[in-house]
Amino acid sequence: MGGNIFGSIFRIVTFGESHGPAVGVVIEGCPPRIEISPQDFEHEMARRRSGKKVVDTPRREEDLVEIHSGVFQGLTTGAPISLYILNRDVDSRPYKVLENLFRPGHADYTYFRKYGHYDFNGGGRSSARETAARVAAGVVAGKILEPLGVKVAAYTLELGGERAKSIDLGSVENSPLYCPDPAASERMEQAISIARKEGDSLGGIAEVRVNGCPAGLGEPVFDKLDAELAKAVMSIGAVKGIEIGSGFEAARLRGSENNDAIRPDGFRSNRAGGILGGISNGDEIILRAAVKPIPSILLKQDTVDREGRPAQIELTGKFDVSAIPRIIPVIEAMVKIVLADHYLRLKSIT
């Protein structure tokens, strides 16, 4: 199975299945002499794990990150860094049904069609459990970006049709849904409670803002920064659309409306979302990701078995109602990984 490696200089390979012994990541190309300890991972891993009511994921993992290589006396050596996160709270019983039936909207059907044999417990490799490894890698990438003053902040713009009307980044961490508008956060929580009672799930939109990104990141033509960010974020399960800056709205604007006029002291607007010609322009980078509703719902659905015979599937077990908010730190991590990689690429030619 290919497709597990991402990045050019700062390269990651993630490994592990949802109900296997562990998930983790090997990072190649991290510069030496960066301070890293297991405690550095705790905050971000806790944000992904999300232990808050309403949005509580039913699986309980400690998510302690073990550093198995590449760090000596608390500093990176430049050698590959391997990070392990043990799977402890594993209950494969509810997944027995997936041995023979495919969940509509999930990866079971296509994994079976492609590989003919796969680990279906907890979603196996296609499970969001894999995103724990991405978040751990994002912490290391963040260590490269921090001294540059680059700040990556993602939040929930919309969930279950409820949209944030104001963006107060200071209130994001107070919201169990990482929503920057407290009133909208409450409406989103209600929407989640209703969907949960109905055995159904919800989608939404995450928005990311990157401040302090230097101009010059991005490698035209195939590794343009917007193309790399889109691939990185869309490689996260459940992400179905990406917009940069004015995004799809740009299709309805005139050039005179969409262009960001340039003054000696900077751009007058930011519909480009901080990227022009695939290269960061020094302005704020703005990206939005459309997140589909969680496929595993408790309602009965039509499906087929491995022989293609019609069947019905009715799931029991542990599922989120929405990939939001747990996807928020994962998106931040993938954006950091892309920026760290492109910063190192820029440094290698200048």
Ligand X SMILES: Cc1cc2nc3c(=O)[nH]c(=O)nc-3n(C[C@H](O)[C@H](O)[C@H](O)COP(=O)(O)O)c2cc1C
Chain residues that interact with ligand X, rule: CB under 6 A: 106-107, 126, 128, 131, 236-238, 292, 294-296, 319-320, 323, 326-327, 330
Nearer residue to ligand X within complex by CB, 70 or 124: 124
CB of 283 to ligand X, least distance (A): 28
CB of 319 to ligand X, least distance (A): 4
Nearer residue to ligand X within complex by CB, 217 or 229: 229
CB of 65 to ligand X, least distance (A): 17
CB of 144 to ligand X, least distance (A): 24
The gap between the terminal CA atoms of the chain, to the nearest Å, is: 36
CB of 233 to ligand X, least distance (A): 10
CB of 272 to ligand X, least distance (A): 27
**Sequence-separated (6 or more) residues with CB below 8 Å from residue 118:** 108, 111, 112, 124, 125
Nearer residue to ligand X within complex by CB, 10 or 95: 95
Nearer residue to ligand X within complex by CB, 146 or 314: 314
Nearer residue to ligand X within complex by CB, 4 or 258: 4
Nearer residue to ligand X within complex by CB, 60 or 347: 60
Nearer residue to ligand X within complex by CB, 285 or 291: 291
CB of 77 to ligand X, least distance (A): 32
